[in-house]
Amino acid sequence: MRPPSPSICCGGRRAAQPGRCGGCSALPGPGTGAGPRPGRRRGRLYCRVGIGFHLQLHPDGRVDGAHDASPLSILEIFAVSQGIVGIRGVFSNKFLAMSKKGKLHASVTDCQFRERFQENSYNTYASAVHRSPRSGRQWYVALNKRGKAKRGCSPRARPQHVSTHFLPRFCSPSPDRCREGL
């Protein structure tokens, strides 16, 4: 019997299992009991727009918000460099990304966002790669009042608007409590 063929992880290295090469940011999926790696924060991003939504990443690539906490809303936020973070859905094992047209989606490759702390204790996340070509205005992660992802290039996706304000709600040290949606 032949051993399983190695797969290529998101970092480009070969490994017997995805996420096991040691150099990429992919982690084992749900149910493995593995907590976040050191330097990574695991929790939910709560947007205060409308009735309030938790940002969630679906395995099929959709990004939206749900009022009730679900396993899809458990995210892992990790530092890439000073002020720059990546956001990964623990259940979907996909990263939050923004297209060149400003549309939010879940991707297998990580995308970088500028994390800014606002005066009201909320955070904003702007794409570190994409911005408005004419004005140079940053494009922000935002949800509308119904929980759908807004385009980052939308006129109301500005750091002052509540649709871009996210409150990190980190899980307890026990990874089981976070996975159960508590």
What average pLDDT does the chain have?
79
Q: What pLDDT was estimated at residue 36?
A: 58
Decide: helix, strand or coil at residue 69. coil
182 has pLDDT over 80: no
Domains identified in the chain, total number: 1
Does 142 fall in a domain? Answer: yes
Question: Which residues, including other chains, have CB under 8 Å from residue 142's CB and lie 6 or more apart?
Answer: 47, 49, 149, 150, 152, 154, 156, 157, 161, 163, 164
Does 84 fall in a domain? Answer: yes
CATH number at residue 108: 2.80.10.50
19 Rama class: left (phi>0) / alpha (psi -120 to 50) / beta: left
Per-residue pLDDT tens digits for 21-68: 333 333 344 434 455 566 788 999 999 899 999 999 999 999 999 999
* Residue 8: Cβ within 10 Å count: 12
Q: What pLDDT was estimated at residue 133?
A: 82
Does 21 fall in a domain? Answer: no
Per-residue pLDDT tens digits for 129-142: 988 888 888 999 99
Does 4 fall in a domain? Answer: no
Q: What are phi and psi of 166, to 5 degrees?
A: -125, 135
Per-residue pLDDT tens digits for 108-156: 988 899 999 999 999 999 999 988 888 888 999 999 999 999 998 887 7
Q: What pLDDT was estimated at residue 19?
A: 38
Q: What pLDDT was estimated at residue 172?
A: 64
Q: What is the extent of the structural domain holding 76?
A: 42-179
Does 79 fall in a domain? Answer: yes
Does 18 fall in a domain? Answer: no
Decide: helix, strand or coil at residue 112. coil
Does 20 fall in a domain? Answer: no
Give, in order, the Cα–Cα distances in Å from 125 to each of 12, 34, 136, 140, 142.
27, 27, 16, 6, 9
Give, in order, the Cα–Cα distances in Å from 15 to each of 8, 12, 28, 88.
6, 9, 13, 20
d(CA 40, CA 58): 20
Identity of the residue numbered 142: A
Secondary structure letter of residue 30 according to DSSP: T
Does 155 fall in a domain? Answer: yes
Distance of CA 125 to the CA centre of its chain: 10
